[in-house]
Chain A
Amino acid sequence: MHTTRLIIVAVGGQGNLLTSRVLGEAALLAGVPVRMSEIHGMAQRGGVVESAIVFGDALSTVISDGEADVLVGFEPVETLRALKKCHAGTTVITNLAPLPPFTVALGKGSYPAVERIQDLVAAKTARLIAFDATQLARQAGNRMALNMVLLGALLRTGRVPVPQAAVEETIRSSTKSAFVETNLKAFALGYAHVSA
């Protein structure tokens, strides 16, 4: 099977590990070979969390620079920071709601304009899908459902070989029961936000 490489970047606490977990379980359900790796040692201390998900027959669970086919960013600066993982054919999905690191408040470094981030990413990759996913998560009923909004958008691009039904099934069966409705709603909002 053709290999598809997906990188997800987020700030600790944004809930991206659930996105990869759901994708992985859905792939298992659909019989799609999947492997992933995460660097989350310092996630709870506000650092960057990166997950690599590889669909297909490759054995590596690590994705080298320049080799991600899809990049999902939960925060605009982190999307830009992860651009080195992309190639000219990469599809990028990014949340536009910034979470400036505390170093900015300390006067060490400045946060670039979100429009500039979009221009840079769009100019270098095949497709950029950028929107305020946090806003859509709130609309779904919980800002923590950001992970499901972005998952919906990702599925709609058709760039990952996992069927939508398997993802929805997994959201139903393996996210906390109190949040299933919100999660499905957030997923649907993200999905509807992107044109195929």
Chain B
Amino acid sequence: MHRLLIDQPGAKRLLLGNEAIARGAVEAGVAVAATYPGTPSSEIALNLFQISRETDRYFEYSTNEKVALEVTAAAANAGLRSLCLMKHVGLNVAADALMTLAYVGTRGGLVILTADDPAMFSSQNEQDNRYYAKLAGLPMLEPSSVAEALAMVPAAFDLSEKLHAPVLLRTTTRVNHSTAVVELGPIRTPVTAGYFKKDPFSFVTVPAVSRQLHVRLLERLEEAGRLAEASPFNFEAGDGRLGVVCNGVSYGYVHDALEDLQAGGRVRLLRLGFTHPLPEERIRRFLAACDKVLVVEEGEPFMEEAIRAIAQAAALTLPIRGKGAGLFSRLYEYDPAMVRRVMAAYFALPQRPAPALDLSDVPALPQRPPTLCAGCSHRATFYAVKKATEGLDVIHPSDIGCYTLGFLPPLSMGDFVICMGASIGSACGFSRASRQKVVAFIGDSTFFHSGMPGLVNAVFNNHNLTLVILDNRTTAMTGHQPNPGVDMAELQLEGFNRVDIEGVVKALGVAHVSVIRPYNVKKSIAALREAIAFPGVSVVISREKCTLYARGLRQLHGRAFTVTDKCRNHRECVDALACPAFYLEGDRVRIDADICVGCALCAQVCPEHAIQPLRQE
């Protein structure tokens, strides 16, 4: 049995935040869950996927977040408790569905989890998705800890069913990727067979209907505001005339700072966990009891501005600060010492910080940036594209995945990256605006996610570009989740179909389509040259399984290579490929046999043919 299915209320377990959320879904009796994977939310889905294989709870990896939201919105409106999971930028993709779904509401419970990533540990931006709650008019909960993340999932479902509204559950990386001890609760048996009762005048959003639905949405929001006033997720602690309002992980930092500063008796705390709509009355009372207030929230001044507006309406004139010079930043994530420092300064509390170590004599250390794995097929494709475009002025729009890392030298394959699927749309724009050649990159999963409309656009408007689809047969970046091109039988998973990229591309009307095997360098370069010379839209599908994925499937059989005495130290291999299996011994190039997977790319690059398979002893 899956460890998150254990039915032992009261038992204590050490869980990752994302495991706790998955457990929360189990306890809440979630019947349907859908996602498109994205860090920091991915492990929730991984657990729910496993759980779905051994129970009658349904889980799917949808092609993108918008589809995932539509799937769960329908399931919830057929009466089933449904959970939709995504990283913060995923909600941008789902936003079209979200905005009108907020009007329509739900009959069964629907919770939408958005995992924000302050400091951008693995994201392209650090947008603050709390504004989506405001924009769409939806209730929102925000946990401060792993244990609370678990508790908030069933609570969010109760709230959703009470209000007939989807509820946003907004986490940040430090909740998703923290681990702590949680107490398990009882498991509610999921209702897994739903029925959709038709009611077109509530569900078909033609203007006449939507005008009514908007009225209902505002009524629901008002009711949500009343629930926020009484919610146990909004609580106060301490007393004194100095006030702190905080949310999310900042609560832990504030709590610890109050201990360290021994300021518990002087500082009154309001922790908000039900953060949209805000409990205005409660905040007004809190402000009235304070002389001065500090708002501690990572990201944008979401609460700060709202609290100022509440004070203004109540004619309260106390200072309320949060973001600003000498205070908190809108950038990155916070940490305990930073919060302590700002609190001490703002409230003029004494603190004795330990002197920092003098590190001025520590030499500059070699960087250790993340890089494509040894034997990664993308490295081989990038090298071939580089060779095929030598002497040309080429723009390389790229996309979101492991291959984004190809933008780093020496490969330098990636000139413009903004969001999922944008490689193709931006390639269209570049090819019109400039006489430079355009060779764009997109991964298989991203192609299905949002690349296809861009390619249709390219064909229809007859743009001049080459698209290289890096088909490594998995969603590698986020931990090798399936996508529609994956062979599920290989994973011993039944009941799936497979969508063939080559067939799709041809059906979309691309006139020049070729498939390369990137470890065959010469042939790949020739096929790429031909595609790039083709006037109009050409697609090259570079097909080779992700090395890490292949290893997991026990399909890696290559022998490690070694640099023989024939090496004349040109370093063409290291300098062109930057494979992490290379290291220097004195000034000689060596290959770490523990890391090399035997892809033979470097052996084809070496002009002396000095790199050869290691003889087995």
Write the residues of chain A forming the contact surface with B, with a CB cutoff of 8 angstroms.
11-12, 20-21, 24-25, 28, 33-42, 44-48, 57-67, 77-78, 80-81, 83-84, 86-88, 100-106, 108-112, 116, 120, 124-125
Contact = CB atoms under 8 A, between A and B. Distances in A.
20 contacts: A34-B180, A35-B179, A39-B121, A41-B39, A59-B256, A61-B178, A62-B336, A87-B357, A88-B354, A88-B357, A101-B368, A102-B580, A102-B582, A103-B367, A104-B583, A109-B365, A109-B367, A112-B365, A116-B363, A124-B359
B190 interface: no
A63 B197 CA distance: 52
B578 A106 contact: yes
Interface string B246-287: 000101110110010000000000000000000000000000
Contact of A59 (B251, B338, B367, B369): B251
Contacts of A116: 363
Contacts of B177: 37-40
A74 B226 CA distance: 52
Given A58-B259, A104-B583, A108-B366, A36 B337 contact: no
B181 interface: yes
Contacts of B370: 12, 42, 45-47
B548 interface: yes
A106 B405 contact: no
B583 A100 contact: yes
B433 interface: no
Chain B interface bracket (under 10, 10 to 19, 20 to 34, 35 or more): 35 or more
A60 B368 CA distance: 27
Given A35-B178, A64-B335, A105-B574, A46 B373 contact: yes
Nearest to A87: B354
B309 to A, nearest CB: 30
A61 B366 CA distance: 28
Contact of A62 (B121, B179, B335): B335
Contact of B371 (A40, A46, A61, A104): A46
Contacts of B354: 66-67, 87-88
Contacts of A81: 365
Nearest to B16: A38
Contacts of B144: 59
B12, B354, B365 — most chain A CB neighbours (10 Å):
B365
A124 B363 CA distance: 14
A7 to B, nearest CB: 13
A45 B373 contact: yes
Nearest to A86: B357
A60 B252 contact: yes
Contacts of A40: 177
A62 B118 CA distance: 14
A103 B368 contact: yes
Contact of A106 (B146, B359, B410): B410
A35 B368 CA distance: 27
Nearest to B366: A109
